[in-house]
A and B are shown apart, each in its own frame.
Chain A
Amino acid sequence: KAGVTQTPRYLIKTRGQQVTLSCSPISGHRSVSWYQQTPGQGLQFLFEYFSETQRNKGNFPGRFSGRQFSNSRSEMNVSTLELGDSALYLCASSLAIVGESTDTQYFGPGTRLTVL
């Protein structure tokens, strides 16, 4: 069974641009969560989607948004990029909503975003 895949793996953008990251969950998984990882803040929860609906959201500005498609694939968008948005963005999938099942989350390799 294929794991969680994320594209692209690396991305370089300049301040003010916008970016879209993609995540394909494990087949059959309906929950997709996004996390930001930086050396200073560690791993922080961005949001979770389940059956095309945003179920939970972390404490990030509105520049960070996402969506989920009917095939459970998810995209994350960051508008008006800032230098501080440089990070590793990780996607995780699970069968059910985090906190409502005994299932673990399976993480993808991440997208490394650099903002210049």
Chain B
Amino acid sequence: KQEVTQIPAALSVPEGENLVLNCSFTDSAIYNLQWFRQDPGKGLTSLLLIQSSQREQTSGRLNASLDKSSGRSTLYIAASQPGDSATYLCAVGGSGGGADGLTFGKGTHLIIQP
């Protein structure tokens, strides 16, 4: 059974810092990996999707990497802003035709101090 772990569970940094969020998964047979953000009381917003054949994806100040063999992904946020404050969730799609849907980590609660 796939398990996804996110470290740290919470992070508070001053505005302007670059930061890294970590995600690890136990079964390397994944189809893709996604990073989402969730704002309080709201649904999830997709940030980046990395296919299993890719190593990284970039969108603006965000960069996500994937090392399937070691079961790890990182989300790099450059020049953090208060608007980046949210919970960041990592999710993997299994290669078994989606039988388990997406498997999510429990998230990293990020606070950017103005």
Contacts and interface: CB of A to CB of B under 8 A. Distances in A.
Given A42-B104, A104-B34, A48 B46 contact: no
Interface stretch (A12-20, A65-73, A79-87, A105-113): A105-113
A43 B89 contact: yes
Nearest to B89: A43
A95 interface: no
Interface residues of B, number: 29
Contacts, number: 71
B22 to A, nearest CB: 16
Nearest to A102: B51
Nearest to A55: B98
Q: Which of the four size classes fits the interface of chain A?
A: 20 to 34
A108 B95 CA distance: 25
B98 A105 contact: no
